[in-house]
Structure 1
Amino acid sequence: MRRFVVEADGGSRGNPGPAGYGAVVRDGDTGRILAEAAEFIGHATNNVAEYKGLIAGLRAAREIDPDASVDVRMDSKLVVEQMSGRWKIKHPDMQPLAAEAREVFPRGRVRYSWIPREKNKEADRLANEAMDAGKAGRQWEPRPAVASGPAAAPAAEEPLETAAPKAGWAAPADLGTPTTLVLLRHGETHLTPEKRFSGSGGTDPELSEKGRWQAERAAEALAARGSVQAVVASPMRRTRQTAETVAARLGLDVRYEEGLREVDFGAWEGLTFAEARERYPEDLTAWLGSTKVRPTGGGESFATLTHRVGVARDKVLARYPGKTVLVVSHVSPIKTLVRLALGAPPDALYRMELSAASLCAVQYYADGNASLRLLNDTGHLR
């Protein structure tokens, strides 16, 4: 059984007053941060915010692996003692929140312990970020920075990423069988040859005739290799069609993962790069210069994409340890998985070529190390 550590906190500026919570989920063995959550919740007390942070942290852990055990660590003596069953919950505002927290994981799989505030800095930071965002009238967003251990602290100017640590020559020799993710980009749609923005906020096109041919060739190549044991895919139409073609050849079912969908390009959906630059020159320049900038019209930043793709990756790794899994997705999520495996900076996304129906492969080891084995292989399409 996999073990997680959830660190959660909440705060209220006024008690009651403007309130927010923060929570992080760590790998129980390595201390690496796997997920984070934060939210401004309006006018509330400290205790309500702390309970909501607990619930968010537990839910984030369940999203990664619903079969895991969880150690919850909080600097709220009240919440720890009440959830441990040693103190009665008398306040009517606390009772439904405690009941909600108990429903996230089965009884007996969550343990609670108190920690001093100075050891709960990450959750406290997130809670304050959420309150600051609420004060500014905006939503909280994750910040990108590699976090690889319990003492890792993100640089102030970079967001937190759920990134795999870099592999090294000094890694232990006996790490068991790695989990291999074979990354397949979907086949072409009618938008692909024209190089138009085609994300999760557009028309969700289906495969073109050429795209269906590409999916068949990928299916033949993967069947010939004979190593794929599971298929996971983005739920968008083009990835569903590609994944179902391959899975039918392999005799496997397809499991869909929302976190693998393409980034939302907002108002740029359906435009070529040149058209987007002509219509939104300042917005496009800002987007290219920072992973925290969203496309025009409320699209999705690459920082947000990185966070959800990292969570989706960890869910797949937790579900299929030691197996070879075909992951059918899109340009941006696959490039993000490759970048995180390499420990490369965010702008590395712009330095990769990823053709329609191409294959990449990354292996993940028990100590958290990752190794890129294949990039943009299109030999099966020749």
Structure 2
Amino acid sequence: MKTYDSPDEYDFKRIEEHWRDYWREQGFFKADMQNPSRKFYYLNMFPYPSGEMHVGHGRNWLIGDAFCRYLIMLGYNVLNPMGYDAFGLPAENAAIEHGIHPKTWTYKNIETFRRQFRQWGVEFDWDREIATCDPEYYKWNQWIFIQFFKKGLAYRKAALVNWCPGCDTVLANEQVIDGKCERCGSEVEKRNLTQWFFKITQYAQELLDDLDKLEHWPERVKIMQRNWIGRSEGAMIRFPIDGHDEVLEVFTTRPDTLYGATFMVLAPEHPLVEQITVAEKKHAINEYVAHALAEGEIKRARADREKTGVFTGAYAINPATKQKIPIWVADYVLMGYGTGAIMAVPAHDQRDFEFARTFNLPIVPV
């Protein structure tokens, strides 16, 4: 074996290029799909191709590359594909900034990513490279959606969204920074627009049952999946609203505590807020709703937040006790969970208890 007395004698560039080309030509990183023994599937998070890679990318993929090489040396048949999360505002923002079409910008950056990966010596099974903006890829997303639609599991309904009047588009929660659009800085509004939804509750139990069939999945991953599915068992209870034809419907996992329900709480986005609020409470309610919607659901859902709310002036009838109980609006209730309304049982729920203490509402143990 040849040795070198000093680093100056070692031609890093020439030697690294030689071995990178040799590994690629020999197909060392291609998965053998006909070989069923010692299979290992490694999938790293796909990057946004919105510019050039930086040291953060290097940390992510160099570690993954080292791990896959280690497995290959142990005799594993490793499938390590590569892809690019190429749709969305990051690519659009960069294209607008540089004055070119998003498609041109995106594919140019993908080519740059490939070159940088190869310069680093990071290898994948390049025959399995994808880009989410490629019609050959996203046609399968469309196909899956069509199957949901045919089975009656995809439906449309009106829902509040983040709307940027400057960009004239809907924004994800992550794209709203302190109530402003991350792209143009405009004040983000809440608009009620028709959206597509999946009836996850229709197949949640099937998803949970099938997790038990995944014998080789780590238990911690299966627990994460169960928590994400978030299936709850309970009952839907209908509360008449005093002086109105409307009925307030709530989902509860504890119908046995109905006798302890001493007030109701609506999410600020709930459609009944506008319908049942009495005239003298309109101004306060409107101000509160506007403020709550600007906060974002992640912040609103924090358990350590001070409980705030406004009384609508309307009352529901507890179907168990036949007593009138006040209907409040509070930001700790989220429209995306259940029906966007709760029966508050402060003696048996910590958040309801804190709200009741704040506003001096009755607490009745069951």
Q: TM-score range by the shorter chain?
A: under 0.3
Taking CA–CA contacts closer than 8 Å with sequence separation of 6 or more, which of the two structures ends up with the larger relative contact order?
A: 1
TM-score when normalising by structure 2:
0.23
TM-score when normalising by structure 1:
0.22
